[in-house]
């Protein structure tokens, strides 16, 4: 294990964990779980990137982008120093 590892505790349904433990050898379990976590992160991050891309490019969000620009100007108008 790399020196920057952490231990974690998760609640997993007993039948799933029992099957996992029966199929995945003891020395491979952490690696398999880490790879599954990486896959889950990649999927979720891609979803967020798609949402951000749609916001930045889709004509349906043009009004929202214009509102965002107005808020950016307002945020920098010095009122926070009152």
pLDDT 10s digits, 1-51: 567 899 999 999 999 999 999 999 999 999 999 999 999 999 999 999 998
- The pLDDT value given to residue 54: 84
**What confidence score (pLDDT) does residue 2 get?**
60
Distance CA 10, CA 27 (A): 18
Q: Which residue did the predictor score with more confidence, 18 or 64?
A: 18
pLDDT for residue 66: 84
Residue 7: the pLDDT is 92
Q: Is the dihedral of CA 25, 28, 34, 35 positive or negative?
A: negative
């Amino acid at each position: 294990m790399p020196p920057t590892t952490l231990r974690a505790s998760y609640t997993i349904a007993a039948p799933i964990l029992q099957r996992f433990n029966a199929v995945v050898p003891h020395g491979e379990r952490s690696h398999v779980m880490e790879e599954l976590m990486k896959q889950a992160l990649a999927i979720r991050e891609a979803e967020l990137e798609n949402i951000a891309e749609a916001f930045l490019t889709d004509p349906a969000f043009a009004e929202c982008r214009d509102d965002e620009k107005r808020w950016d100007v307002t945020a920098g108008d010095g009122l926070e120093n009152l």
